[in-house]
Amino acid sequence: MEDALVVLVTAPSPEQAAELARALVEERLAACGNVVPAVRSIYRWEGKVHDDAEALLVLKTTRGRFEALRERVLALHPYDVPEVLALPVEAGSAPYLAWLADETR
C-alpha cells in the first residue's frame, strides 16, 4: 500500500505520548500508536546541546490523513517545535494495511 505512512513523534513522557496517541486514534487520524517509553535524545536547541529522556510515539496512518494528523499533533503537543516525521511504508501485510486504511477513513 503506497499510501501507508509511519509517523514518528517524540514527547517529554510516555504519558504525554499516550495522550497524543489516544486523541489521534479516537479522531481516526491514526490507526495505531505505539509508545516506546524510553528513548534518549541528543540534539541542539537554541544554541545548546541537550541530552534528554523522551518517549517515542510511532503512529500508523495514510498519506491522505497526514496533514490533519500533523496539524493536530502541533495543536496538542507541549513542545514549541515537535518532531513530526512521516516515513513511507514500502511493503507490509495486506490484511494489516487494509485495516490501517479502514481505521483512518
Rounded to an integer, what distance in angstroms lies between the CA atom of residue 29 and that of residue 43?
28
pLDDT by residue (tens digit) across 24-82? Answer: 999 999 999 999 999 999 999 999 999 999 999 999 999 999 999 999 999 999 999 99
Q: In what order do the strands lie in the sheet with 32-45?
A: 32-45, 48-62, 4-11, 85-88
Domain topology for 4-103: Alpha-Beta Plaits (3.30.70)
pLDDT confidence tier of residue 2, bands split at 50, 70 and 90: low
Task: Give CA 97 to chain center in angstroms.
Answer: 17
pLDDT attached to residue 23: 98
What are the domain boundaries of the chain? 4-103
CB atoms within 10 A of CB 58: 17
CA-CA-CA-CA dihedral for 17, 20, 22, 28, to nearest 10: -140
pLDDT attached to residue 1: 54
pTM: 0.94
